[in-house]
Each structure stands twice: as structure tokens, then as C-alpha cells.
Structure 1
Amino acid sequence: MSSLRKALCLGVYLSAWMMTAADGDAPKAENVRWLSLDFKTLLLWTATPSNYTFTVGYSWDDSDWMRSPNCIQIAETECDLSKELEPLRRTFIADIQTEPDKMTHYEVEDLPHTYSPPFNPYGQSEISAANFTVEMVEEGKVSVTIQDPLTSFHKYGKQLSIRDIFKSDLQYKISYYKSGNTGKRDIIFASNRGEVSGLDGGHSYCFMVAAFIPSRDKAYQQGAWSIQQCTPGHKNAFQDLSLGALVGGLFILAIVLVVIVAVTVVCCRRRARSSRTYQSSSVV
């Protein structure tokens, strides 16, 4: 009986030691961060390579934890939560639980897990650069038309744009400057189309646009800037010339003028000499 008790105690001790060792070797998710662009949202983390897997859960406002169907016992260190994080105005938090292979017995509370920072898709998802066109309306006025970036969401067979999500909260910032001038001006459009007036006629202007959501915190208000587009303008011949070409042209012009003056002086002297000779012949 005494030997049986000792064997049981030894078994319990060894089991506890094995669980502690397993817990010590289990990798913990680190550097947890959110990566979200146009509401395509990924949860990313780093971990030491091992045979362990990860299961991602999420919650909001102290609600019960939900498991992401596509992120249960995954070997990857990222999880796409785009479809789970709705409604978009909620603030979510994720939990990355480390799990061993299915053959290993364990208690969930004995394995490490890591919580993510809070994330609000509506207020924090980055917005990509928008495409736009610039057309001349009249002298000194252009029309700017902006195309809303698309999101990862679909509804009734249609891919939703950021306008479908933000509605009247979405505005656009337009930054422009006169070509050759470093001074920039910014204006705000409440819609996808607007006009910029007061431009100097005949000059080229360059434009960039970016989504602007003033209802967000300042760090997340502005989306990425678009590629710059410039109007052609009406350049004269001197605007097209570089400084070196202009100096060379002036030098050649100066030489031509010197030659013309020299030829004129020579011709005038010869004419004057011929005139004096003719007068002398007439007197004789």
C-alpha cells in the first residue's frame, strides 16, 4: 500500500513537471498588431518557430469570446478578421491562444495567450490612395473628379466603396500648387467632384487628393495621398528652354548683332568713301 501511494505521488509530480515544462516551451504570441486597409483587417504577431499552433478569439464591450472560424489551430502568425469585425463602429479586442498538437493533453489556462490592442475598424482602418482626373473648365478654373477606393465588403453582389461605409463623413482634401512654385494650397471637397478656381491662366498646376474623415481622431483622419497629376498649361518658347540653352541663345544673338553692326559700319564707310571719290571726280 505504501509503495502504491509513493507511485501515485511520483506520477502526480511527474505530470505536474511535464505540464510546467510544456508551458515553458510553448511559444507566446508577441508584437501583436493590427493591419487594416480599406477595412481589409489582419491581426499579425510574431512567435518562436515550433510545433504549436494558434487559435484566435475576439470580443467587444466585455461580450463573450468568439472564435474566428478560419483561425483555429493555425500555424501561421496572421489571421484575417475582416468579416468578423462587424458592426464596424464597435471596438474589438483579440486573444491569441497558444495550442499544442491534438495528441497532447493540456489545460487551456496552463498555456500562454496574448491580448491585442483595442481596434475600431470605422475609426482606425487606413484608407488607400484614390484615383482622380483633372479637366480644364475654362481659363483659370479646373474640375476635379475623384473615384472612391473600394473596400473588401460586398453587398447584394456589389463591392462596397468607402463612400458606402462613411457616407457623409467622407470628404476629400485637394492639395495643389503652380508648377515651378513651392507654395501649396489645400481645399476640402464634401463630395467626389468639385472645381478649383482662381488659377493663373496659361500656367500648369499640379494636384493630389486624399480621403479625409474629420469625425475620426486626428491621427486617422487623412488617407494616403494620390499620385500627382498636372495640367498642361500654355508655355511660351522661353519657358521650354533651360537656363543653359537660354544663355547660349543669348550669346549667339549677341554675336549675330556684333556681326551685323560690324558689316553695317564697313558698308557705311565704303559708301562714304565712294561718295567722296565721286565728288572729287565731279570737281575735276
Structure 2
Amino acid sequence: MSARSRTTTRTNVRIRQAVTAAAVLPLLALAAACSGDDGGSGDGKGKDGATTAPATSAAGSSTGAAKAPLNAAQLRAALVKDAEVPGYKIEASKNEAMSPDDVMTTDKPECQPLADPPSTRPKYARKAFVGASVGKIDPGNLPAGVELTQLLLASHAPGEAGKMVADIRQALEKCTGFTATDGTGKKIPFTIRKGPAVTVGDEAVAYVMSDTSDKEGGTALVTVVRTGDASVTYLSVKGTGQAGDAPLVIARKQDANLKAAEAAG
């Protein structure tokens, strides 16, 4: 890949590494991105726990019989595949651990729900998770035709996925910026603004997160989608370094796969 291609497809490493480990995977011939990881939460990798069947309420409640949350193997099986979304290249992660350095703690408590989706220690712990890099390129429209998305698919305890989305919505009414401290003590300034309305899954919310210290490629669209007691966080950027669009083609197929996985138990 040329120096120009590397520059034009550069994304915010700080944001991406909060969701992913340091393994770098090629995406098509023109872009590179970090892969996500799979395993359990930082509070207890691969923990077993009771959960409920797919829900439709904002709180994530259910009237079905209790089921165990989807484990990493089930999540990986449900992860959207290339063949299901023609035109996209999907690279599933191969690692099993997230770096403890990739914690994001805000200086404003009311903003913390906005830092939690890409943090290794969110308020609502992930029972299991898998990650992937998603790429799509329009060769006739470079660099704007490059779309890169980091995907983090997770299962949660009963009702907690709904609480997470509710907390994000509430935070977006109060928070327009914060300084995050990572696990190494590094401070990263972010501005926040509401993203587009997204209709997918049982509910979804989107916002734009910009690292003000990285003017060239420090902006990403964060889209969080809930399907029952599972969630998917998408961090999307364009090859120009701007926030990407909500990856609706991917999100709709991922939602369908998760619904099938939760129904099968």
C-alpha cells in the first residue's frame, strides 16, 4: 500500500484501539484496520450467567424463559460473513484478550456512557464478545469511497443492553465533550455530537466522537445497536478521515443473525 493510501485511509488509532487489540489486518488492497477481539468481559472472561430471550422494550426485558447469554462461540457463529453482504470485506478477530490499557474514563461522569462502548471496562460488563473489521471500497471514488468500520459484538446480562442504550441517550442530552484517560494515564480530548437517527435492531443510537488532538483522522461515527440482550458497537470512518455513515447493510444482517442465535439459544 502506498504512502498516499496509508494517509488517506488513516483512522483514529486511539478510538479503534479502545475496542480492539493491536493486531493489524489488511482490508482489501487499499486499507488496513485493527481487528477486534473475542472472549469475555474484563470483569470475568467467559462468565456464565442467566439472561432472557430476545426483547423489544427499551429496557431489554422479556417475557420468555431465561436463557444463558450467548457465549463467544455463539457470537462468532452469528457474526456477519462476507457472503451475506456482497461488496464488503469482513475480517473476524483472532485474538482473545483486550488490552487493559484501552480503558476510557471521562472527566465528566455524565459523559461516561459515551466512552463505555469503546472501553474495555464499561459500566455494563460484556459477558462475551467478538470483534471484526469491515471494509468496503469504491475504486472509482477514492479516497472518499473507502469505508472502514470496527465492529464489537457482545452479550450482556438480562436488561443491561437496554440500560446501556438508555444511558447513552441520556448522556447525549447533557454531554458535548470530555477528556478521557486511558489505562496508561494518557489524556485524550473528545467532542461529541448527536448522530443520525438509525432504525435497526430492537433500538439503536448514534453519535459522532472526535479526538480534537487528531485533526486529520480522529473522528468516527459510533452506532450502538441492541438486539435482545446483545449489542453491537460500530465505529465507522471514511477514507478521508471523516466520520463514516451508519453501516446499515451490515447492521441489518447482523441483527437478523443475532435474533436467530438468541432464538436458538
Return the TM-score normalized by structure 2: 0.21
The structure number with the bigger radius of gyration is: 1
Which structure: greater helix fraction? 1
Q: TM-score, normalised by structure 1?
A: 0.20
